[in-house]
């Protein structure tokens, strides 16, 4: 009645004949007991291995995550402004290298933040002390920053941050300046409020990350130029009144010189020379008075262009005829061989004055035997005029100031030839009123070239005339 397992192995002799058999009988219960023991042993070994591996993993994970946690905590402290936060460096493995890199980064951040804070403090000090009103707005036109001068001049205070300028009673001209800057990047305006006159400059603060200045803010600077404008008006009025007052005695002197001129044949050589000197000085003073009056009109915005269709070549030739006698007296030859019509819309009288001034200067600063060449080139829609002489030239250090009022390069030569230092300043302003520009190239001993870049039609009158 007992069950089990029987194993039989035959026993074979060397001659291949069966000699017997070996029988092994194992009870079933014993086999099952052995298998059960083996199963429990294997399961136990597996569980033990799992527990050992889990413990080792936890220990290793703790060794790995602790430096990372320390780095995370230090990063949070640095982000909150504690730049002294450092990560302990343990070993020279990857985690140690990470800790060293983090500590270096924290030191650099502390250094750069310190520099930024210092620059910010300096900027705040400058803005606090600035006599100009400075206001910053965001992309929606709301005030984000003001300085004390803005409160004094515009009535915009720190408490107004977050509000739009047009809600704060800011002068309309200044609000328009800000709007123009938002549309065109930069805007400049002079705002006359009667008792006060302001100069306003606004610029758009484009951000590099938005590509086109979207939602960019505006920085506005406003200067009180009331006193400056008053002084300018007083100066202009004085120059104008003084020049007008000089006209009467000059007319009287001119009449007296005219009477002497009629009796020229009865004058002895010394008296004849004195009369020539008087005529020359009188002409120089009259020219200076006219130039002063012209500048006074320019400063008071009374100097306007009266434009019409013209041939620029004819204007140049008229100016050449006016200086022809003087050029012959100085031994200077003037060449303009261009017979092509150069049609343009311009103020003929004022451009005549420009060419007259430039040709007169070329004669004054040339020596006998030198020559002056005039040329015109068309480059639609521009006309480029060049007046080139082979005279004494202009030192490099004088070129930047050449078009300033009353500036003369060679004062002795200018005094001898009757130069006032106003002609080039007037010429520059006339050319700019036409929408052009004037420049000079020169080298001492090799002469000068004055270049006029002139539009065929002044911008403000572009639709009034056809060429």
Over residues 101-158, the pLDDT tens digits come to 888 888 888 888 888 888 888 888 888 888 888 999 888 888 888 888 888 888 888 8
Question: pTM of the entire structure?
Answer: 0.51
Number of domains in the chain: 3
Residues 399, 332 share a domain: yes
Residues 265, 173 share a domain: no
The dihedrals phi and psi of 305, each to the nearest 5 degrees, come to -80, 140
Residues 154, 267 share a domain: no
Of all helices (H) and strands (E), which one includes residue 136? Answer: strand 133-137
**DSSP category for residue 266:** G
Q: Is the pLDDT of residue 427 over 60?
A: yes
Report the C-alpha gap between 363 and 419 in whole angstroms. Answer: 11
Residues 437, 316 share a domain: yes
Residues 322, 234 share a domain: no
Q: Is the pLDDT of residue 314 over 90?
A: yes
Please state, as a whole number, how many other Cβ atoms lie within 10 Å of the Cβ of residue 301. 7
CB 267 within 8 A of CB 260: yes
Q: Is the pLDDT of residue 406 over 70?
A: yes
Q: Where a domain ends, among 299, 331, 354?
A: 299
Residues 243, 384 share a domain: no
Residues 393, 265 share a domain: no
Residues 263, 393 share a domain: no
pLDDT of residue 3: 67
Of all helices (H) and strands (E), which one includes residue 257? Answer: helix 226-262
CB 44 within 8 A of CB 57: no
Q: Is 431 exposed, middle or buried (0-12, 13-18, 19+ CB in 10 A)?
A: buried
- Over residues 224-242, the pLDDT tens digits come to 888 877 877 777 777 677 7
Residues 436, 414 share a domain: yes
Nearest to 438 by CA among 398, 384, 394, 359: 384
- Over residues 204-214, the pLDDT tens digits come to 886 555 444 45
Query: What percentage of residues in the chain have a pLDDT greater than 70?
Result: 89
Residues 400, 356 share a domain: yes
Report the C-alpha gap between 26 and 3 in whole angstroms. Answer: 9
Write out the residue range of the structural domain in which residue 276 sits.
229-299
Q: Is the pLDDT of residue 361 over 70?
A: yes
Report the C-alpha gap between 305 and 289 in whole angstroms. Answer: 21
Q: Is residue 287 part of a domain?
A: yes
Residues 144, 245 share a domain: no
Q: Is the pLDDT of residue 50 over 50?
A: yes
In this prediction, residues 243-255 reach a mean pLDDT of 77
pLDDT of residue 431: 92
Extract the tokens encoding 129: 């002390």
Report the C-alpha gap between 391 and 450 in whole angstroms. Answer: 13
Nearest to 442 by CA among 384, 389, 375: 389
- CATH number, domain containing residue 150: 3.30.450.20
Radius of gyration of the chain measured on its C-alpha atoms: 48
Extract the tokens encoding 319: 């100016």
Residues 430, 374 share a domain: yes
Give the range with max mean pLDDT: 208-212, 253-257, 291-295, 440-444: 440-444
């Amino acid at each position: 009645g007992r069950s089990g397992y029987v194993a039989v192995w035959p026993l074979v002799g060397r001659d291949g004949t069966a000699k017997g058999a070996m029988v092994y009988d194992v009870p079933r219960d014993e086999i099952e007991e052995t298998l059960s023991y083996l199963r429990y042993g294997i399961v136990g070994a597996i569980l033990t291995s799992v527990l050992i591996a889990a413990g080792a993993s936890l220990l290793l994970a703790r060794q790995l995550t602790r430096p990372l946690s320390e780095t995370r905590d230090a990063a949070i402290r640095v982000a909150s402004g504690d730049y002294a936060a450092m990560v302990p460096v343990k070993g020279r493995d990857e985690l140690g290298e990470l800790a060293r890199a983090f500590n270096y980064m924290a030191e650099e951040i502390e250094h750069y933040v310190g520099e930024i804070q210092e620059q910010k403090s300096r900027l705040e000090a400058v803005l606090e002390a600035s006599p100009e009103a400075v206001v910053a707005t965001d992309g929606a036109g709301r005030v984000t920053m003001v300085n004390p001068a803005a409160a004094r001049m515009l009535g915009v205070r720190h408490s107004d941050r977050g509000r739009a300028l047009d809600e704060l009673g800011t002068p309309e001209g200044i609000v328009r300046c800000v709007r123009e800057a938002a549309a065109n990047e930069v805007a400049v305006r002079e705002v006359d409020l009667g008792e006060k006159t302001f100069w306003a400059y606004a610029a758009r603060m484009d951000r590099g990350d938005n590509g086109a200045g979207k939602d960019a803010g505006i920085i506005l600077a406003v200067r009180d130029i009331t006193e400056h404008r008053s002084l300018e008006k007083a100066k202009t009025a004085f120059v104008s009144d003084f020049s007008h007052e000089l006209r009467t005695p000059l007319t009287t002197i001119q009449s007296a010189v005219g009477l002497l001129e009629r009796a020229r044949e009865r004058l002895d050589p010394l008296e004849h020379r004195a009369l020539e000197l008087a005529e020359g000085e009188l002409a120089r003073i009259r020219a200076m008075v006219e130039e002063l009056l012209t500048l006074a009109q320019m400063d008071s915005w009374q100097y306007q262009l009266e434009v019409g269709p013209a041939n620029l070549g004819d204007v140049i030739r008229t100016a050449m005829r006016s200086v022809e006698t003087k050029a012959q007296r100085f031994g200077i030859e003037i060449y303009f061989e261009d017979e092509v019509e150069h049609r343009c819309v311009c103020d003929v009288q004022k451009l005549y004055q420009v060419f007259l001034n430039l040709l007169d200067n070329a004669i004054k600063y040339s020596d006998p035997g030198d020559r002056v060449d005039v040329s015109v080139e068309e480059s639609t829609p521009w006309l480029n005029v060049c007046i080139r002489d082979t005279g004494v030239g202009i030192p490099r250090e004088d070129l930047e100031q050449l078009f300033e009022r009353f500036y003369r390069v060679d004062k002795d030569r200018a005094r001898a030839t009757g130069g006032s230092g106003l002609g080039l300043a007037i010429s520059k302003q006339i050319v700019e009123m036409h929408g052009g520009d004037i420049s000079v190239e020169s080298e001492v001993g090799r002469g000068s070239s004055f270049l006029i870049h002139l539009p065929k039609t002044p911008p403000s009158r572009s639709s009034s005339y056809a060429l």
